[in-house]
């Protein structure tokens, strides 16, 4: 755990130029998290610190605990947020480590939490991270490069059936069997350019002409699998809702249909709107509402924001509020 001005935990030089990211739906996030009790807000996906900086500017009654599994993000955000001093503490951890992170700063309840899911612009733009089909680099895709299997390990080690399942589940890729077959035949695959070319050639020519780059869904699917993004999300959200103080809020920006489905289900379950075995029977014990939905459905970025930042187009924004104490 470090204060914002201490980057000793990170092995990457702190530089805002190295981790520049245009935060999505900042005004909407600030609006939702400005109506909470004074206390700690957890930015569970700190990134470059853009949302955190806006939240600190909006209210003097909150402090921020920023979490990120990417050491480069921790370093850059630490430099950017240093002027805020002790109002910001940073922790290098996955967001499913939120409970331990909160307890480590001597807090039992939090006033708010933000999840901005997916991959950040610097991770996409820096070729050495291996996230992008547009920039040639090593096939890595780990958000936390201190350990764990890489995308190359997955692509070269998984069998055809497993690869097909990953592409379907994480990327909604309709050509998953063809791509998986091509990947196995082309091994070893070591670079992002090589992977992108194999995927492009595996997809029928007619399908390549629509829907953006033909390798986009494959790269997304592999990145999600390498980082276990869907597996850890539900647990992290449930931990967060349990940590919220009365009238505290949790807000989530999701960019992938699988992520958004998980967020929607967890929020609806916590709001007492989960599915029942029979609609004519009362809700089972333990399914009583602990939060309220702040709005129905998911909000989307404005057309103006999408024009300024095309990567915002896929964003889906949901939020809940912890129910207050009974009178």
pLDDT of the residue at 128: 86
Sheet holding 2-3, edge to edge: 2-3, 88-92, 62-68, 39-43, 110-116, 244-254, 316-322, 291-293
Numbered ranges of CATH 3.40.50.150 in the chain: 2-116+229-322
Alpha carbon 145 to its chain's center: 17
At residue 108's C-alpha, the angle toward residues 107 and 110, to 5°, is 80
> Rounded distance, CA 171 to CA 81, Å?
35
Q: What is the pLDDT of residue 324?
A: 85
Q: Report which of 218, 228, 236 is spatially closest to residue 182, judged by C-alpha positions.
A: 218
Name the stretches of the chain with pLDDT < 70.
Answer: 2-21, 276-287, 325-327
For the chain, residues classed under CATH 1.10.150.170 are 127-227
pLDDT tens across 220-238, in order? 999 999 999 999 999 999 9
Predicted pLDDT of residue 206: 87
By CB atoms closer than 10 A (0-12, 13-18, 19+), residue 99 is middle
CATH 3.40.50.150 fits 2-116+229-322, yes or no: yes
According to the model, what pLDDT value does residue 277 have? 59
* pTM of the predicted protein model: 0.88
Can you identify the CATH homologous superfamily of domain 127-227? Putative methyltransferase TM0872, insert domain (1.10.150.170)
3-class secondary structure, 65: strand
The model's pLDDT over 137-178, given as tens digits with 9 standing for 90+, comes to: 999 999 999 899 999 999 999 999 999 999 999 999 999 999
Confidence (pLDDT) at 41: 98
End-to-end CA distance of the chain: 38
């Amino acid at each position: 755990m470090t204060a914002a001005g201490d980057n000793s935990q990170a092995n990457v030089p702190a530089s805002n130029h190295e981790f520049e990211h245009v935060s999505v739906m900042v005004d909407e996030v600030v609006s939702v998290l400005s109506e909470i009790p004074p206390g700690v807000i957890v930015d569970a996906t700190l990134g470059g610190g853009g949302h955190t900086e806006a939240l600190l500017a909006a209210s003097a009654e909150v402090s921020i605990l920023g979490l990120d599994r990417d050491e480069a993000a921790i370093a850059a955000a630490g430099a950017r947020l240093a002027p805020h001093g002790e109002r910001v503490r940073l922790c290098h951890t996955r967001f499913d480590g939120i409970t331990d992170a909160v307890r480590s700063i001597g807090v039992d309840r939090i006033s708010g939490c933000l999840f901005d899911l997916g991959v950040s612009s610097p991770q996409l733009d820096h070729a050495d991270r291996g996230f992008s089909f547009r920039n040639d680099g090593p096939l890595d895709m780990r958000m936390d490069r201190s350990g764990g299997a890489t995308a190359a390990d997955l692509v070269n080690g998984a069998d055809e059936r497993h690869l097909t399942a990953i592409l379907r589940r994480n990327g909604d890729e309709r050509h998953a069997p063809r791509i998986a077959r091509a990947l196995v035949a082309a091994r070893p695959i070591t670079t992002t350019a090589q992977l992108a070319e194999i995927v492009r050639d595996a997809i029928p020519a007619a399908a390549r002409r629509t829907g953006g780059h033909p390798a986009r869904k494959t790269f997304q699917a592999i990145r999600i699998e390498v980082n276990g993004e869907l597996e850890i999300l539900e647990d992290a959200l449930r931990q967060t809702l349990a940590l919220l103080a009365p009238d505290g809020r949790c807000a989530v920006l999701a960019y992938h249909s699988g992520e958004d489905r998980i967020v929607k289900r967890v929020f609806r379950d916590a709001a007492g709107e989960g599915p029942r075995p029979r609609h004519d029977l009362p809700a089972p014990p333990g399914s009583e509402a602990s939060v309220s939905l702040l709005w129905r459905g998911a909000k989307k970025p404005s057309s103006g924001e999408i024009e300024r930042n095309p990567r915002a187009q896929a964003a889906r924004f949901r939020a809940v509020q912890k129910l207050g104490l009974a009178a």
